Structure 1
Amino acid sequence: MNGSVKTPSAEEQSAREKIRAVLEPARFDLLERFVGALDQWGAVSNLVSAADRERIWARHIADSLQVVALAEGRGRRWIDLGAGAGFPGLVVAIARPETVMTLVESNRKKAAFLLRVVADCGLDAKVEPHRAEALAADTYDVVSARALAPLHKLLALSEPFFGPDTLGLFPKGRDAGTEIEAVSDHRFDVTAHPSQTDPDGAVLAVTNLVRV
């Protein structure tokens, strides 16, 4: 029937409940507020596809939350490049309340959405509505990016935000190993953590990044 509310899949409901179980209630409530805003805006602003809106919890939020665990023990300052609709940056800012987040997104509609969620959720975050290349160099504790660019381009974009103790967290698909081998203009240490949401994927944890 037209206008009916589609029932979430069993996978989606299960993922939502698993996430609820590991977050403080106030943090989970903010995630639900974010998801609600994403569903409203996504239908008219092309933030995410209709198919992706049906698997927000099972794929995108779960995928984003795994970088929170990998950043345990790191400092507060975090920059998310190509933040898009908020994955992983907004999810990190919600789930990791000590984080001071910078969301970099040059697309006006997506940047406007990020600003609205930051304000509505009272997050300690700012939105930079520019390309990463336009930002002044600064040192962050964590740099992240999801589905933004191949690793060699990602490292070039990330380098201005790296210091000696910075951690880069970059979710990748089945070609993660090939992307690592293709990097020729940077030296770095990397650990590939198996993805919890993509059986063929990995989250690349990059440290000691320097241009050669």
Structure 2
Amino acid sequence: MSEDDAQAAVEAIVGTAYMDRLARFVARVTDESERQNLVAKPTLAAIWERHVLDSAQLLPLAGDQPGLWADVGTGAGFPGMIIALATERSVGLIEPRRMRAEFLASALADEGLSNRVTVYQAKVERVVALSAAVISARAVASLSELLQSTAHIASMDTLYLLPKGQSATTEVNEARRRFEGLFHVEQSITSPEAGIVSARHVRQRR
């Protein structure tokens, strides 16, 4: 997929109105990557496909689920900043590394989004004043570990949307030993071999 194709695919998901915001953020990530390791350097040449589209594809999976979207270990802001920039949702960006958290806060301030998007510079286990309707996490931890570490900010109605690459089905099978819930694996549109775990009504087995 070319970068032009990836941009067109993103636009088809989010609509034309949000593309300028996303383009500014892509430029900001590219520029900031000269100062800190936000994303893997080889992926910068395909940032629209590897990061923006890979993030935006979660939006249709969320459907009309209202409420706060919490992105755990958001790093450079994928997918959390893409959700924030391409919707009008309330979003919580959870990132323990100071420089990355400061980068995200600066981007939000420049876009005028600080009133509905909050950066939490902490590990998710330390974030307590938050109740998430949607929880996402990209390349953070195993599915079982994520379900365990986010249980305190989730409810039975929380929707998990977790890109898991080629390990998606394996991780679901392992998680089912410890957790009950409705688990489903969606195919990623950016990689035929990759899966996105969708889960709700999750609770630990007794």
TM-score relative to the length of structure 2 = 0.92
Superposed CA deviations along residues 19-70 of structure 1, whole A, max 9, x for unmatched, are 2355443311000110011011011111112211111101111110111111
State the partner residue of 1:111. Answer: 101
Q: Partners of 2:140 and 2:185 in 1: how far apart?
A: 18
Match of 2:195 among 185, 188, 202: 202
Match of 2:172 among 175, 180, 186: 180
Are the counterparts in 2 of residues 68 and 96 from structure 1 also a CA contact under 8 Å?
no
Q: Which amino acid aligns with 1:197?
A: T
State the partner residue of 1:121. Answer: 111
CA 22–206 in structure 1, closer or farther in 2 if over 3 Å, else same: closer
Q: How does 1:11-26 map to 2 (within 5 A)?
A: 11-26=2-17
Q: Partners of 1:41 and 1:193 in 2: how far apart?
A: 32
Residue aligned with 2:69, SS: strand
State the partner residue of 1:136. Answer: 128
Superposed CA deviations along residues 7-26 of structure 1, whole A, max 9, x for unmatched, are xxx71122123323554433
Are the counterparts in 2 of residues 63 and 197 from structure 1 also a CA contact under 8 Å?
yes
Superposed CA deviations along residues 121-149 of structure 1, whole A, max 9, x for unmatched, are 12220000000011116421101101101
State the partner residue of 2:74. Answer: 83
TM-score relative to the length of structure 1 = 0.90
Match of 1:43 among 34, 39, 48: 34
Q: Which amino acid aligns with 2:140?
A: L
CA 22–137 in structure 1, closer or farther in 2 if over 3 Å, else same: closer
Residue aligned with 1:87, SS: coil
Q: Name whichever of 84-93 and 170-179 sits farther off.
A: 170-179
Are the counterparts in 2 of residues 43 and 50 from structure 1 also a CA contact under 8 Å?
no
Segments of 5+ residues of structure 1 without an aligned counterpart are 1-9
Segments of 5+ residues of structure 2 without an aligned counterpart are none
Residue aligned with 1:136, SS: coil
Provide the alpha-carbon RMSD of the alignment. Answer: 1.5
Q: Could you list the structure 1 runs, at least 4 aligned residues long, displaced by more than 6 angstroms after superposition.
A: none
State the partner residue of 1:5. Answer: none
Cα deviation for residue 119 of structure 1 reads: 1.0
Matched length: 202
Residue aligned with 1:46, SS: coil
Q: Partners of 1:21 and 1:173 in 2: how far apart?
A: 23
Residue aligned with 1:79, SS: strand
Q: Which amino acid aligns with 1:192?
A: V
Q: Which amino acid aligns with 2:182?
A: D
